[in-house]
Amino acid sequence: MPPIPDHPLRYSLANELHARPFPAMQSPSTVIYLAVKQPREAVHRDRSLDLAHLVALLDRHGAAHPQPGATHHSAQLGRYTLKWEQHTEFVSYTLYGDGVAKRAFDPSDFDIFPAEWLEAAPGQRVTSLMIRILPRPEPKRIKAALKDWFVPESLAVADVLDDSAVVAGDFRIDPAGHMRFALFANAATGSQRIGRLVQRLCEIETYRAMSMLGFSRARDLSRDIGTLDTHLSKMMAEMTSDTIPAEQTLTQLLTVSAELEAMAARSAFRFGATGAYEALVNQRISLLREARHGGFQTFAEFMLRRYEPAMRTVKSTEKRIGTLADRARRGGELLRTRVDVERSAQNQALLASMDRRADQALRLQHTVEGLSVVAISYYAVSLASYLLYPLAQALGQSKGMMTALITLPVVALVWLAIQRVKKKLH
């Protein structure tokens, strides 16, 4: 029996499940992370520019190039291992290497990305991280280190993955322009687990930053939405009065409805992406399996207080646009009904006027027909009289008597002839 044929995408789709494994990291280690996004139309960007920018970095270190059309690649850049990934809207670079600098979060560690290479990036920085991975010391030393490295007011700390490590971060941009995170790993915590934790931290920050783009869009739209809301409410009030013609209000209402539909269309992708990124942020935090460390707030609590209100604003703005569009649509339908009723009344009045005119025309026609009978009869009697005058002399009748005798028959014949013509025309 011949083997069953495989679907042409079977192997490539199965391999995709294993294409992006978690990196294995030791303690102590240093992690440098960068995410780059084009400012406009990032989904439809020229992705070959992303690859070209990656190749320029690899060439500086003599590293192997990725395959054409690749969406992920790993390479060794000096003492660092590079993990490059191409996402729907952005590109991420993760560099990690053994050991840490004496100075915590030393900005010089980021120099692995050359300044001229960063300037040539096909996009803008969405976020950049520096993660310091250390063996887990006693709680007092952790507390002292966190006090030196982070802003206490916004610091989030948690025991994660069944107390196998402590992660901390304040989600603030330091003077060098980077976010800072610290990871204190237990001695028994394996390199794969540390790699997963680092990956989660990078994803939480990146997806948080990407979702906040929707908040920025919502804030920019708030003034325009308020103006349209006021204008729409004013027009709704005008609908209840007869001061402004319904056709004029309908035209204005259609303009507002078109503006709202255009606004919704322009914002649909950004708001939809924001919802997706928010879900990813919450999912990644839940995967940390947090437990409270000391008296610090957890990452979930930080997001609930600082991040969730922004996401609610995005959802509220999206819902408000939809609500206004529905109001404008319903108002347009009501106005169109009102205009149709008014036009129907006008048409009925016009038809009544036409009926009156038709009745007048009919009566005028009857009058004309009567006059026509009289006129034709007059000429017919005159002609008949001329024809019968000789016969009148022979019969001994006067001309007047002969004319009187033929008048009624001639008029009757003329009337019958006209009725016959009318019947044929109808």
Structural domains in the chain plus CATH codes:
18-199 (no CATH), 212-350 (1.20.58), 365-425 (no CATH)
**How far are the Cα atoms of 18, 56, 81, 154, 413 from residue 62, in angstroms, in the given order?**
26, 10, 13, 42, 120
CA atoms within 13 A on the CB side of 232: 25
Give 77's strand partners: 80
Report CA Rg, the chain: 45
**How far are the Cα atoms of 12, 240, 241, 250, 410 from residue 341, in angstroms, in the given order?**
63, 15, 16, 14, 56
Asked whether residue 57 carries a pLDDT value surpassing 80, the answer given is: yes
Judge residue 145's burial from the number of C-beta atoms within 10 Å of its C-beta, 0-12 exposed, 13-18 middle, 19 or more buried.
middle
Cα gap 203→283, rounded to integer Å = 10
Q: What is the model's pLDDT at position 8?
A: 86
Asked whether residue 130 carries a pLDDT value surpassing 60, the answer given is: yes
Q: What is the model's pLDDT at position 242?
A: 64
Asked whether residue 94 carries a pLDDT value surpassing 80, the answer given is: yes
Question: Minimum mean pLDDT among 96-100, 313-317, 413-417: which range?
Answer: 413-417
Task: Locate 391 and state its tokens.
Answer: 């016969």
Cα gap 114→59, rounded to integer Å = 12
pLDDT digits over 232-267, tens only? 887 777 766 666 666 677 777 778 888 888 888 889
The stretch 365-377 carries a mean pLDDT of 69
The structure's pTM equals 0.78
